[in-house]
């Protein structure tokens, strides 16, 4: 892809109150955006047309949500966590997987029905997640500290580590203890992933049960602190959010050198990008839009002020198809 001008324009469509860290987003079939919040166990629904948001789900006995993934239409699963404070100190025994049925939203039910699926006591820091098999009802969750992937059956509630790979882990003597982060299932039996510690986007070939066929491979290196990402059609490529440097990078189909498309220069609207997703439907606000969730700037959390306001922003990608 050739970009005629950079950075790509960013438009904020909704700004949350101070202290709201949007950790991940998912797009419903009707085009509405679900935003999972890290330091409160809540999911908000954002309408990109009216630019309004409403609380649609709360996870009990948790302090936050780390990811959200859809298995069947409007039925989502989230990784819930318990953090003692905003330092995000990873601790085993604090993670669980929950089912969120957005179909249950009715005029008389302002909140969706939620149900705990399983605790994962051995997990140290569940982060990214992806659908593994819609037919089998299985998901993969990345543990950024263990450098491993858990397979979770939403039916049998079986939990098993299925992959531990060198590209998932943390390099020796590194102060950053966050390895494998974002996950997305590819179209050819491959799994795409980011490593925040190793500054890369990679892929690994997997079997239908999530076990590896081979070792992980690097698709693009030198992506500073990559977080979650959005995968478009095969001809479009991959957009990677970069929380620390306030950037968004593009990786061409098949891999190669990443291009910073937002954040190479001062650009409003992407302070602390954590997640990205392409809209649904053949409209400008559907497949023509890349939506990005942000925490408002991670520095606010690191210095303890927690004044940042997370956002949902949009970037027009219609011309790139």
pLDDT tens by residue, 166-189:
999 999 888 888 999 999 998 777
For the stretch 300-303, contacts whose Cβ atoms lie closer than 8 Å and that sit 24 or more positions apart, written own/partner, are 301/21, 301/86
Tokens for 232?
């478009």
Residue 78 and residue 70 in contact, taking contact as beta carbons nearer than 8 Å? no
Q: Which residue has the tokens 């996870």?
A: 59
pLDDT higher than 90, residue 27: yes
CB atoms within 10 A of CB 188: 7
**CA 275 vs CA 115, 148, 236: distances in Å:** 24, 20, 18
Say what the pLDDT of residue 109 is: 72
Tokens for 292?
């990005």
Q: 280-315, pLDDT tens digit by residue?
A: 988 888 899 999 999 988 766 666 666 779 999 999
The HSE-up count of residue 21 (CA atoms within 13 Å, CB side) is 23
Say what the pLDDT of residue 210 is: 97
**CA 46 vs CA 27, 172, 281, 297: distances in Å:** 10, 41, 16, 20
Residues 6+ apart with CB under 8 A from 153: 136, 137, 138, 159
């Amino acid at each position: 892809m050739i970009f005629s001008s950079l950075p790509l324009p960013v438009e904020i469509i909704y700004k949350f109150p101070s202290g709201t860290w949007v950790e991940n987003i998912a797009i419903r079939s009707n085009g509405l955006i679900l935003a999972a919040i890290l330091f409160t166990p809540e999911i908000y629904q954002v309408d990109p047309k009216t630019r309004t948001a409403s609380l649609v789900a709360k996870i009990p006995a948790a302090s936050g949500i780390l990811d959200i993934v859809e298995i069947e239409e409007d039925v989502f699963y989230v990784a819930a966590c318990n953090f003692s404070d905003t330092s995000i100190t990873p601790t085993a025994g604090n993670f669980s997987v929950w089912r969120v049925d957005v179909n249950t939203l009715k005029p008389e039910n302002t909140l969706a029905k939620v149900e705990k699926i399983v605790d994962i006591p051995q997990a140290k820091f569940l982060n990214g997640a992806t659908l593994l098999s819609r037919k089998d009802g299985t998901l993969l969750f990345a543990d950024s500290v263990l450098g491993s992937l858990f397979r979770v059956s939403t039916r049998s509630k079986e939990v098993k580590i299925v992959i531990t790979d060198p590209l998932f882990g943390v390099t020796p003597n590194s102060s950053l203890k966050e390895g494998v982060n974002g996950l997305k299932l590819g179209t050819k039996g491959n799994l795409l992933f980011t490593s925040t510690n190793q500054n890369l986007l990679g892929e690994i070939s997997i079997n239908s049960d999530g076990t590896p066929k081979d070792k992980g491979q690097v698709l693009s290196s030198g992506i500073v602190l990559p977080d979650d990402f959005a995968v478009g059609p095969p001809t479009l490529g991959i957009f990677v959010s970069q929380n620390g440097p306030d950037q968004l990078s593009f990786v061409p189909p098949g891999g190669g050198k990443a291009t910073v498309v937002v954040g190479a220069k001062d650009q409003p609207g992407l302070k602390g990008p954590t997640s990205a997703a392409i809209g649904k439907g053949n409209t400008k606000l559907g497949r023509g839009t890349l939506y990005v969730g942000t925490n408002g700037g991670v520095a606010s959390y690191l210095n303890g002020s927690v004044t940042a306001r997370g956002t949902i922003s949009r970037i027009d990608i219609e011309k790139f198809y």
